[in-house]
Amino acid sequence: MTTVRIAGADLTRFGSVPDRTGRDLFAEAALGAREAAGVPRGDFDELTYGNFMGELAERQGHQGPIMAEAAGLDCPATRYEEACASAGAAVRAAISAIRSGRADVVLAGGMERMTNLETEDTTEYLAIAADELYEVRAGMTFPGAYALMQRAYVEEFGGEREDFAHVAVKNHDHALPNEYAQYRSAITVDDHLDAPMISDPVGLYDSCPITDGAAALVLCSDEYAEEHALDAPVAITGSGQGGDKMALQDRKHLNRTPATERAAEEAYADAGITPDDVAAVEVHDCFTVAEVLALESLGFYEPGTAVSAAREGETTKEGALPVNLSGGLKAKGHPVGATGASQVVEMHRLLTGEHPNSEYVDGTVGVTHNAGGTVASAVVHVLEVVA
């Protein structure tokens, strides 16, 4: 089976740009990725595109063809929606298209526009990623759901709010030199502990922000890269996806994320790696507890042991396993439908030496982890420097 190469990658600066349309944002990322790849537009076989709430935020469904046109392409385009893992699903679909032989070159990416809305609308719209019938009608919002997960975690395994604060402090620190990050400001543990409580024990600084942004990747087959002498040293060698019950009430544990475990298992087997091979990881830290759960489900820590990893410095840029060197969702920002692709873009930059934090990556293998809802969906990718 062909290896899938990353021929080009780009993203917009994440943040609040309420006056820019979705197509404008995606065009910027897509044209940047196309320019980096140097692949002629006629060679693109398809666009795989992630978006979560365009129907509500822009009254625009069927965004595939719009975004193909925005990207300057004349090819089939499909939108993938997997809540906050939409772009992870789009990247995975691109890999599948190339591996199945139906495509040589695919543009994969995603976009979300969120800051044009009132915050209360955004909260309501984000809630459609949870179970409308069994959770949303009961008043559940995402900070509330992750608060339940954090409570269940602490009850079984222990951990202080300060442990979770260190996750946020670390990710803000990592974002400082990242020109694409929404927040390039250091925070302290005291800032975290003094910040308003959102849904006890989840505070303001446990939560990722609301963000506009887009990300795009030019993916191609090994054969195409070779034939066209592309500069594409990084391959996506593993892809995995996992699912779980949608509603928290139907899960056995609130403090485990088996969808991530399954996605990781598949992706690692696909790439032929183990967690020990991984030099850096970008995980889906929509809330600080989500980073803790992800690190355990990805096999980097035993259940109940990742909570103090940031405090101990193990996951900081100078730690044994740097986590979210981009700044993560917490500080880089979380334009929902773009996040999964942006993680791959950032890991690509980290592995190729183009990222300001590349110096902290001691190795050639990186992993990205994108989750949807309360991790009812998870997508994991393995990136490797292969040339």
Active site residues: 84, 334
The piece of 223-231, 257-265, 278-286, 289-297 that touches a second copy (CB under 8 A) is 257-265
The CB-side HSE value for 279 (13 A sphere, CA atoms) comes to: 18
- Among residues 250, 312, 359, 362, which is the contact residue for a second copy, using CB under 8 A? 250
Q: Does 376 bind a second copy (CB under 8 A)?
A: yes
Enter the tokens of residue 214: 């887009």
Count Cα atoms within 13 angstroms, Cβ side, for 38. 7
The residue (of 129 and 168) whose beta carbon lies closer to a second copy is 129
Q: Is the Cα torsion angle 215, 221, 222, 224 positive or negative in sign?
A: negative
275 binds a second copy (CB under 8 A): no
Q: At what angle do helices 336-352 and 86-99 cross, to 10 degrees?
A: 60
Tokens encoding 132: 């409308």
Residue selected from 17, 128, 152, 385 as contacting a second copy according to rule CB under 8 A:
128
Q: What is the closest distance, in whole angstroms, from the C-beta atom of residue 216 to a second copy in the complex? A: 17
Q: Which two tokens stand for residue 101?
A: 């032989």
Q: How far is the CB of 92 from a second copy (least distance, A)?
A: 8
By CB under 8 A, name the one of 13, 15, 43, 78 that touches a second copy.
Answer: 78
- The amino acid that residue 44 corresponds to is F
Residue range at the interface with a second copy (CB under 8 A); choices 68-76, 187-195, 198-206, 212-220: 68-76
Q: Does 60 bind a second copy (CB under 8 A)?
A: yes
Rounded CA gap, 76 and 358, in Å?
A: 35
Q: From CA 44, how far away is CA 347, in angstroms rounded?
A: 23
Are the beta carbons of 5 and 383 closer than 8 angstroms? no
CB of residue 53 to a second copy, shortest distance in Å: 7
User: Which one, of 155, 199, 145, lies nearest residue 307 by Cα?
Assistant: 155
Minimal distance in Å, beta carbon 191 to a second copy? 32
Binding-site size, a second copy (CB under 8 A): 61
253 contributes a contact to a second copy by CB under 8 A: no
β pairing state of 4-11 and 234-243: antiparallel
Candidates 6, 37, 75, 220: give the one binding a second copy (CB under 8 A).
75
Q: Is 262 in the site for a second copy (CB under 8 A)?
A: yes
Tell how far CA 150 is from the center of its chain. Answer: 20
Q: Is 107 in the site for a second copy (CB under 8 A)?
A: no
By CB under 8 A, tell whether 101 contacts a second copy. yes
Task: Give the one residue of 37, 39, 89, 271 binding a second copy; rule: CB under 8 A.
Answer: 89
- Our finding on whether 55 is near a second copy (CB under 8 A) is yes
